Amino acid sequence: MIERTLSIVKPDAVAKHGIGKVLARIEEGGLEVVAGRFLRITRAEAEGFYGVHRERPFFNDLCTFMTSGPVFVSVLEGENAIARYREILGATDPAKAAPGTVRALFATDIEKNAAHGSDAPETARIEIGFFFPGCELV
Ligand code: ADP
Ligand code: MG
């Protein structure tokens, strides 16, 4: 099934000049970039975006990290894009991420883990709408 998913190249990877490297893996992985924005996330946006994690002990630090520098947010499209992109990213904890994945290559630790990918169709739809409010899924 052709899907769309939301990608965020996080502040740590942007600071390491990793935007192009992540995009290269996306494109080499058979996914297409169909929308993109370079921006600095506000505190309120970070808290809203990661709202499902509000009760987690790492929530406050995560929001501080996500607002610490610019990010590159994009919409990816392709066959099974949601699962495919999470394969390209590797596990949340870079110590557990498969060799060659974005997080194995570029992440610093479980928080500063280089990039975000949506985890399911419904969250992808919500997350895409969060940063690309005019972008209707067809
Ligand atoms: P994923 O981004 O792989 O979907 P989660 O949705 O579980 O992972 O977590 C969202 C983000 O919160 C992670 O990408 C990471 O930046 C941060 N995070 C997750 N678990 C931890 C943790 N135990 N300690 C610190 N930060 C964490
Ligand atoms: Mg998640």
| pLDDT block averages, 10 residues each, the chain of length 138 | 98 98 98 97 98 98 98 98 98 98 98 98 97 74
Catalytic residue among 63, 116, 118, 128: 116
Q: Are 74 and 7 in contact (CB under 8 A)?
A: yes
Q: Which ligand is nearest to the CA of 123?
A: 2
Predicted local distance difference test score (pLDDT) of residue 34: 97
Sign of CA pseudo-dihedral 61, 53, 119, 129: negative
**Which ranges of 1-138 would DSSP assign to H, the alpha helix?**
11-15, 19-28, 43-49, 59-66, 81-89, 102-106, 121-131
Q: Which residues pair with 77 in a beta bridge?
A: 4, 32
Q: Are 131 and 6 in contact (CB under 8 A)?
A: yes
Predicted local distance difference test score (pLDDT) of residue 103: 98
Q: Which ligand is nearest to the CA of 59?
A: 1
Global pTM value = 0.97
Predicted local distance difference test score (pLDDT) of residue 35: 96
